[in-house]
Amino acid sequence: MQPANYQILLVDDEESMREFLSIMLHREGYHVDAVGDGVQAVERLKVQGYDLVISDIKMPRLNGFELLAHIRDRFPETVVLMITAFSTTEEAVEAMKQGAYDYITKPFKNEEIRLVVKNALERKTLRQENLQLKKELDRRYSFGSLIGKSKKMQEVYDLIEKVAASRANVLVAGESGTGKELVAKAIHYNSERKDKPFIAVNCGAIPENLLESELFGHEKGSFTGAVQQKAGLFEVANGGTLFLDEIGELPPSMQVKLLRVLQEREFRRVGGTKNIQVDVRMVAASNKNLEEEVGRGAFREDLFYRLNVIRIILPPLRERRDDIPLLIEHFFRNITGREGVDIAESALCSMLDYHWPGNVRELENVVERCLVLGQSSQITESGLPPQFHAGRPTQQGQLAEIPDTGLDLDAYLGGIEKDILLKALEKTGGVRKRAAELLGITFRSIRYRLAKFDIDPGAEEE
């Protein structure tokens, strides 16, 4: 950025110092305002944003430390430089500990001030650019609360973006824990309905005898316990989106009623005689294969086609392993509020190799478990749940007998692992990528395992 794009506020109770700094910084091309104490500075900050505040420490009414605390709290993106007399540099160092970028000691040279101001503003610009880049990366690798950079997830994002602008019903398919409700929310909050209600209901969690009343409401006295009129979820969601999770659990009688709502855009409360019209965007989800359910007569074919206008298939986590490190970082940030997860290479390899039957939900639970039970802030292999240490089924047939003198289990298993790695490399001509595919592990994992045993594959990668 050019100097003319920066706004600087000078705060000093010495008029001569304010005039001197104002003239010098104006000549450099900066926009400069000057006030005589911290109270005036606080008032200026209320009406004008500043890139940089240069403040004296010793001032009446509100000193430099107090002003610094105010800026850190209210305007964290503003950079602060402190001015101090030579004899009070300890105070300036303390100010840096409290968040000041740097300090200038009186008496000072013009060139020194120019350089410090230039560096401070460049740092601010760099920080803003980094934040913008991070936001761009987050946007590129996420959609709402969905996280993933893999090709399959990018395809899901593209489809959500296209679907959100339409009024079409959507069917989200995927295993439990893949994030089907997150897809429904992403569709809603990226549509013109985003300011209207988003209502989610799990069809399998509501008893069958209560489901109709939950969805459509009831009139007073329509059944025992109906002491007053109640609006159903369709009414509550009017103008917005209704997400019906586990739609495959709907009993046949409710399937008929739901089909009518989708066709006619109207319904009656339980015990009611009046048709109620609604404008609701329907998003349904199931971890069952609804086409198979239709084939065996458990789900109405006409309802399936009404719901399945657009289908979004969420891949299981085992089919998008590239997203695992990104998801680990995301969950770490959500749980701890900090950036930069510390994870051991062996733990990451185990997590990349694992089959994740519970998908993203299971991964989140594992990360939280490691952080809660771990003795350090690092995620280690020993901190992973028992299922990670159970090992994979082998076709070894028989194990060696355990001698009376005992057995070094780690050394024994390590020998088996090394032998399998060598056999895989021999079979693939030393090509690590093909050997990893042969063993059902990631390339990163085989690289770690080969390094552990100091094995040189001795071949160029394909």
pLDDT of residue 396: 43
| Mean pLDDT to the nearest integer, 56-80 | 88
- On the question of pLDDT at 403 being above 80, the answer is no
- On the question of pLDDT at 384 being above 80, the answer is yes
Residues 32 and 22 sit within 8 Å (Cβ to Cβ): yes
- On the question of pLDDT at 279 being above 60, the answer is yes
pLDDT of residue 335: 87
pLDDT, tens digit (0-9, with 9 covering 90-100), for 142-165: 576 788 889 999 999 999 999 998
Furthest CA-CA distance within the chain: 91
The pLDDT confidence band at residue 397, using thresholds 50, 70 and 90, is very low
| Mean pLDDT to the nearest integer, 371-399 | 69
- On the question of pLDDT at 137 being above 80, the answer is no
In sequence order, what are the residues at sequence separation of 6 or more whose Cβ sits closer than 8 angstroms to the Cβ of residue 100? Answer: 68, 80, 81, 82, 92
CA distance 173 to 190: 20
The pLDDT confidence band at residue 391, using thresholds 50, 70 and 90, is very low
Residue with tokens 């569709």: 187
pLDDT of residue 407: 62
- On the question of pLDDT at 260 being above 80, the answer is yes
- On the question of pLDDT at 459 being above 60, the answer is no
Fold agreement between 3-137 and 318-388: no
Closest CA to 347 of 372, 374, 317, 320: 374
Query: Residue 233 to residues 211, 230, 284, 286: CA-CA distances in angstroms?
Result: 10, 10, 14, 19
- The dihedral through the CA atoms of 267, 268, 273, 277 has a sign that is negative
pLDDT, tens digit (0-9, with 9 covering 90-100), for 283-327: 999 988 999 999 989 999 999 999 999 999 999 999 999 899 999
Residue 141 carries which DSSP code? T
Query: Residue 383 to residues 8, 34, 359, 378: CA-CA distances in angstroms?
Result: 50, 56, 19, 9
Closest CA to 187 of 240, 259, 261: 240
Residues 251 and 203 sit within 8 Å (Cβ to Cβ): no
What number of helices (H) and strands (E) belong to the chain? 18, 16
- On the question of pLDDT at 12 being above 70, the answer is yes
pLDDT, tens digit (0-9, with 9 covering 90-100), for 343-357: 988 889 889 988 899
Cα dihedral 174, 175, 179, 181, rounded to 10, equals 70
pLDDT, tens digit (0-9, with 9 covering 90-100), for 202-218: 998 888 888 888 899 88
- The dihedral through the CA atoms of 249, 255, 259, 262 has a sign that is negative
| Mean pLDDT to the nearest integer, 354-380 | 87
In sequence order, what are the residues at sequence separation of 6 or more whose Cβ sits closer than 8 angstroms to the Cβ of residue 77? Answer: 124, 127, 128
- On the question of pLDDT at 393 being above 50, the answer is no
Residue 274 carries which DSSP code? S
Does the domain at 3-137 match CATH 3.30.420.40? Answer given as no
CA distance 242 to 216: 12
More confident call, 302 vs 84: 302
- Rounded percentage of the chain residues whose pLDDT exceeds 90: 36
SS3 350: helix
- The encoded tokens of residue 163 equal 């679907």
pLDDT of residue 408: 67
Residue with tokens 């824990």: 177
pLDDT, tens digit (0-9, with 9 covering 90-100), for 20-39: 999 999 988 899 999 999 99
Name which of 323-332, 371-380, 394-403 the model is least confident about. 394-403
pLDDT of residue 457: 73
Domain ranges of the chain: 3-137, 143-315, 318-388
Residues 10 and 54 sit within 8 Å (Cβ to Cβ): yes
The pLDDT confidence band at residue 102, using thresholds 50, 70 and 90, is confident
Amino acid at 452: K
- Rounded percentage of the chain residues whose pLDDT exceeds 70: 89
CATH fold of 318-388: Helicase, Ruva Protein; domain 3 (1.10.8)
Cis peptide before 60 (omega within 30 of 0): no
pLDDT of residue 87: 54
Whole-number mean pLDDT of the chain? Answer: 85
CA distance 307 to 284: 7
CA distance 208 to 253: 10
Q: Which CATH number fits domain 143-315: 3.40.50.300, 3.40.50.1370, 3.60.21.10, 3.90.1150.10?
A: 3.40.50.300
- The encoded tokens of residue 208 equal 């069958």
- On the question of pLDDT at 141 being above 70, the answer is no
pLDDT of residue 187: 94
